[in-house]
Structure 1
């Protein structure tokens, strides 16, 4: 990576160990794991998403649980990650249900401001119907998750759905690649669009959730 890209990565949101404890990780319920968490937390004052994702002594599931939240990543990146997880899951099956495909397309249109909240909800409900009518398969679960309006929920549901049939390492690598891609775009004309997208997404989420 270039020095500029490294500088952009250094500006990722950060979380301290004390702030992380407020997420109530399940490790706190086990004395040994709580001690391990405390030791990890002592290594740095502040952690960004990539710092956490590189902790190989922690399971991929736990690393993903930790960072798939807006304290670590902006809403528009979480939504795009959800779409990529769903794309990945659907690529693993033959003849994916059109309703699942449309749900992902709808989410990306919603992120660009091309469709209304109501249209997104309709696409999400259709994807949910597809998952129930044919069985809760990984790809359909991921597509329905991606269509959710809440950023953290969409990202987690899509990631867990995709990981049912795919290696979790692939899902982890997808997120790392997305973060690095955002770092490359920072400071370009795309950066301004991303910042505007983040504002729009937050506003849209509030409208849907009241």
Structure 2
């Protein structure tokens, strides 16, 4: 499924994206809240990230991983994903995203996230979409809030006694009941004109 937004083209991730994914994860600023700045090894992307993305896209659960391309230039700017938790039994999807530093501040994370919320809830089995980040990652938290999610949990890390809230992780969610009852300005339900198989 290819999804278009005003600024992005989201298409399924494939093996041809490995180099772009490696480059993205090599930026310490991009990886700051993911791995403390450490890059993801190429082998992990080739042997785990891309195969999992392909499997998720074909699972028919509404999930997948999309390469995000700048609509005007076609340049790879990052990725978005919806994935079912590996050991979960609930009808839920986790929203994740990662963008190149050059793409920050343009509203792309919010635009892509809102679009994938629509994709997620177009699947009739999705009961909830959730996302998490470090508590101090205010930019990502704003994206989640602009996507209609509400803060539902704060998980303190092992070193919470010394670092407190800064080391905690927050979880946001949007439940189907809220999606169906709320009036999101950006959500156009019932129309799939921007979605192509």
TM-score normalised to structure 1 length: 0.26
Tell me: higher relative CO, structure 1 or 2? Use CA pairs within 8 A at least 6 residues apart.
1
More helix by share: 1
More strand by share: 2
Bigger radius of gyration among the two: 1
